[in-house]
Amino acid sequence: MYDSGFLQFSWACSSKKSSTDERELDDDVAAERNQILNNMNLSSARNSIGPDRDVNRLDHLIVHDLVKSYPLHRAAAVDHLTFGARRGEAFGLLGYNGAGKTTTFRIVVGDLMATEGTAYIDGQNIRRRLTSIRRLGYCPQQDCSMDFLTVRDSFYLLARIRGVSRKRIDSMVSYMITLFLLESFDNNYIHQLSGGTKRRLHAALALIGPPLVAILDEPTTGVDPNARQQMQKVFLNAVKAQMTIILTSHSMDECERVCNRLGIMKSGQLTCLGTIQHLKSKFGRGYMVSIQVQSIANDSNASNMHSVLSFLRDQNQFQIEVKEILKTTGQFQILESTPAELFELLEQNKERLNIETYTISQTTLEQIFLSLGKTNSTNDS
Ligand SMILES: Nc1ncnc2c1ncn2[C@@H]1O[C@H](COP(=O)(O)OP(=O)(O)OP(=O)(O)O)[C@@H](O)[C@H]1O
């Protein structure tokens, strides 16, 4: 359905020793893990215990102690990963290349077999694959090959698989085609579509039904800004309508716009978890200030920027990290003082330092991501 490997199981080797035991988990990640394990224990007390048992439905998606090891690979691609996504939540799973996001998704949708652990969609173990397919939409990272179908036919196929009734199917297909701005490609074969249009189609196919949970692996990569904005609106509306969306994207802006909660993955495990505001307060070190100095003919603007920097450094109340100094602009991270103190200081010395404008802002999600995700790229070896 999604790609040729959708119903095939990959060979999985036995897992290595749990590095969750060796690594100290972030307190939010540990709390999430404990909460899910407690809920699972409560459920197993009610259900008959067995590897395929179902659990309670507090979360639309539960990923439970998932491990994926590849032969000849030193570290596990997914390493005892546990988290849940609540009903009507947009959960962002972020991480550097090779962190284990796609592997996690492929296990959840049944494209890969886990070495250990499992996942549950609306309380139902994914090993009971046939029933979970209806509840789960998937926009894979790689476009799948359904080239022999037209855009419209592919919507009909997915809608039927998700159990849309004959009565509703025509209007639903037309609605989704309009929603994802695909009207002009209606009767085109999929192989005739451009890369960005294919991404739109795959995201739309993931949402038709609608399923309870949609897993979207970089759905907007290569999509033009206009269509991307429209897709983000659709995702937000789907979440409002109580769909659960698991999104991965390398655009931090997109994650900020769409997601209620985020987890950043590194080496197959979560390094942090929480709402964006929570992550900013917990990991955002200080705040940022961008300063622009006046451009004066025959004057060295760079030296102006440096005099602003040395002025700030002379004030003992600030600890400053230089992010960037260009010709007329500078960006600094300020630690150990309040934005109000800096504001007062800059206002008082604006003219003397030739400052044209300045903005003080909270640490961005991108900066947090960069500081937490570092060294993950090495996992890709
Ligand atoms: N078939 C495979 N055989 C061996 N190792 C693999 C295989 N597929 C993935 N891996 C490894 O598993 C790890 C996780 O890969 P994965 O594709 O899940 O990362 P990702 O977080 O989705 O990265 P990206 O952001 O680039 O999509 C990487 O180290 C990768 O090299």
| DSSP of 269-281 | EEEEEEEHHHHHH
Can you tell me which atom of ligand 1 is nearest the CA of 248?
Answer: 25
Q: Which two tokens stand for residue 145?
A: 């090959």
Q: Could you tell me the distance, in angstroms and rounded to a whole number, from the CA of residue 337 to the centre of ligand 1?
A: 41
Q: Could you tell me the distance, in angstroms and rounded to a whole number, from the CA of residue 202 to the centre of ligand 1?
A: 21
Note whether 229 and 254 are within 8 A (CB).
no
pTM here is: 0.81
pLDDT on residue 295? 77
Q: What is the CATH number of domain 27-41+57-281?
A: 3.40.50.300
Q: Could you tell me the distance, in angstroms and rounded to a whole number, from the CA of residue 76 to the centre of ligand 1?
A: 10
Enumerate the H helices of 162-194 as residue ranges. 166-179
pLDDT on residue 37? 86
Q: Which of 300, 344, 348 is nearest to 325 (CA)?
A: 300
Q: Could you tell me the distance, in angstroms and rounded to a whole number, from the CA of residue 28 to the centre of ligand 1?
A: 25
Ligand 1 contact, 101 CB (< 6 A): yes
Domain ranges of the chain: 27-41+57-281, 285-374
pLDDT on residue 14? 33
Ligand 1 contact, 373 CB (< 6 A): no
Q: Could you tell me the distance, in angstroms and rounded to a whole number, from the CA of residue 114 to the centre of ligand 1?
A: 14
Burial zone of 74 (CB within 10 Å; 0-12 exposed, 13-18 middle, 19+ buried): exposed
Ligand 1 contact, 98 CB (< 6 A): yes
Residue with the smallest CA separation from ligand 1 atom 17 is 102
Q: Could you tell me the distance, in angstroms and rounded to a whole number, from the CA of residue 51 to the centre of ligand 1?
A: 26
Ligand 1 contact, 100 CB (< 6 A): yes
pLDDT on residue 233? 97
CATH 3.30.70.260 applies to domain 285-374: yes
| DSSP classification of residue 114 | -
pLDDT per residue as tens, the chain (381 positions) = 333 332 222 222 233 444 555 567 899 999 999 999 888 776 665 554 444 555 666 678 999 999 999 988 778 999 999 999 999 999 999 999 999 999 999 999 989 999 999 999 988 888 776 556 678 999 999 887 788 899 999 999 999 999 999 999 999 999 999 999 999 999 999 999 999 999 999 999 999 999 999 999 999 999 999 999 999 999 999 999 999 999 999 999 999 999 999 999 999 999 999 999 999 888 887 888 999 998 766 555 556 788 888 898 888 777 888 888 887 899 888 887 788 888 999 999 999 899 999 999 888 888 888 877 655 444 444
Residue with the smallest CA separation from ligand 1 atom 10 is 77
